Amino acid sequence: MKQLLLSDLVHHKAEMLRERAALKIRNKQTGEWSPISWKKFSERIMDTAYALCDYGVKEFSNVGIYMQNMAECFYLDFALFANRAVAVPMYATSTVPQIEYIIDEAQIEIIFVGEQFQYDNAYAVLKKSKSLKKIVIVDNEVSKADDDTTSIYFEEFISKQKASEENKSLVAKRMGEAQEEDITHILYTSGTTGEPKGVILHHSNYLEAFRIHDIRLGFLPKGFTSMSFLPLTHIFEKAWAFLCIHNDCTIAINLDPREIQDTIKEVRPEGMCCVPRFWEKVYAGVQEKIATSSPLLKKVFLDAIETGRIHNLEYRNKEKRAPWQIRMKFNFYDKTIYKILKKVVGIENGLIFPCAGAALSDKINVFLQSVNIPLRYGYGLTETTATVSCFPQIDFEIGTVGKVMPGVEVKIGENSEILVKGKTVMHGYYKKPEETAKVFTEDGFFRTGDAGYLTEKDGIVLTERIKDLFKTSNGKYVAPQQIEICLSEDKYIDMIATIGDQRKYVTALIVPVYENLKAYAAQNGIEYKDMTDLCQNPQIYKMIETRIQDLQKDFANYEQIKKFTLLPESFTMTTGELTNTLKIKRQFITEKYKDIIELMY
């Protein structure tokens, strides 16, 4: 029997699940959530597939998807698979030069855009592009340019007239001829350095991801509700969403990341992919609540956290039964303190919250495990179809990024580099044979660029991103991410970029949590004209300096930050300091803030 490919996946599910909700979408005006049944999901995919065929999309041609998380992201993905064509997603926040590079390299002729920002950027490219010919707009509220005579709206594009017998027959033929080694996606890495690279993924990569996750996450029930929060352009969210479809789940689609604090409470999902930044904010909020509580309540909170740590990490995680006193206290706190905390966030129904994409502090990880949040920390790359390792349900190791996935082979190479082999690993980068050759060893292992080591239980400990490692002028190597993870626990620090390559000592550029800084100023009678004035205030500097010294006391002297500058404006994707996946661009930051950096030396 032919293995079920992605091109058949939704339609196979629709035959069984029919009127059950496959997707949930939110009305922007009313805030109401509406279900889309599996049957309707399947029909919309096929309507889109016939329209693509009618437009002239051929097998193996590249089609651009440039939008926020929308139901149409799914319709397009699976409609393209039905035509044996290739989806090329672009981050909704991408600028004109960023999408222009992808459109030109991938020779994209037709692109689907979400809202006004994406349309405006795509139209700017269309006017000068040699390849781009057509823009299809999903949001009906988008206003087209006065001189735009070619762009059309999505509903017009998929009109029923496109479902001719000829188109139906051709799409059916293509679906029947689809192969495991057909390309499904070209996913462009956002790139902290250099130009982006298009990672080529195939049906076979996703099918293997399904297989190994079914083994690792076999404890999960089918059919739960997951919130799609991270961009569907990101392999973490993309692969998780496909796994959810594979497992009959309902996917609630969050359109605007800025609204997640509201939408998560409306949906109260059982699962959601998150980057550590989300959990850092949860942790900071709880710590602030504890700090401002009465002595009695503070004692109760701290006892609840410690009881959960003992019960979950010292006993349950080691498959041991906790003493009855601990069990009784834990059960009480689980129904009171933990439940209230989770309800405030909107995650009280949680079954699993995968977390990856950046480093998570052990202190925050332990806290989340202690208050009974089912966090499953992991590690992966676009090139490995996401997961290389993740926490199993029990016997996970704090300090690691999880246990190596079944079917994935990991070994440690030169400079402690983590090397990966398996069927989830990409075949190569699009139109970049030299770059592809560089990232594979002679025996076929993918070079991750991350340094680390393996534990006796096959857990991966990450120590540093190799290219981020820098050496001071005294010849000492410093791993900046370790410092940044540690300092990010502080309630006054939002983002931090560590400086020190070929310098006498380590410094940092710090984006403070502005609201907390204002609150501190108000409490201590500190007057200021604007944020620049507040960030330069000596009292503020001394307060932050004291907190940094305390946080970094366990680091070697040469690793410790000696001077820092508080920035009055945040790092953003728009201003260039962050990638689309919220990683800091060190080279860009070093160049942009070179005058400020020089003042610290």
pLDDT tens sequence across 288-300: 899 899 999 999 9
- The whole-number pLDDT of residue 161 equals 77
Instruction: Say whether pLDDT at 190 is over 80.
Output: no
Q: Cβ(229)–Cβ(272) under 8 Å? A: yes
Q: What is the pLDDT of residues 388-426, one digit of tens each?
A: 999 999 999 999 999 999 999 999 999 999 999 999 999
Q: What is the pLDDT of residues 258-276, one digit of tens each?
A: 899 999 999 999 999 999 9
| Structural domains of the chain in order of their starting residue, each with its CATH number | 6-179+217-255 (3.40.50.12780), 271-465 (3.40.50.12780), 469-599 (3.30.300.30)
How much is the pTM? 0.91
Structure token digits, residue 594 = 């070179």
With tokens 């930051």, the residue in question is: 589
- The whole-number pLDDT of residue 468 equals 86
Residue 131: Cβ within 10 Å count: 17
Query: Residues 367-376: what's their mean pLDDT?
Result: 97
- The whole-number pLDDT of residue 573 equals 85
Q: What is the pLDDT of residues 103-151, one digit of tens each?
A: 999 999 999 999 999 999 999 999 999 999 999 999 999 999 999 999 9
Instruction: Say whether pLDDT at 446 is over 80.
Output: yes
- The whole-number pLDDT of residue 469 equals 85
What residue spans of 158-273 are helical by DSSP H?
165-177, 203-216, 235-246, 260-267
What is the torsion angle, in degrees rounded to the nearest 10, for the CA atoms of residue 116, residue 122, residue 124 and residue 125? 170
How high does pLDDT run on average in the chain? Answer: 95
Spatial distance between the Cα atoms of 122 and 126, rounded to a whole number of angstroms: 6
Instruction: Say whether pLDDT at 191 is over 70.
Output: no
Q: How far apart are the first and last CA of the chain?
A: 68
Q: What is the pLDDT of residues 56-97, one digit of tens each?
A: 999 999 999 999 999 999 999 999 999 999 999 999 999 999
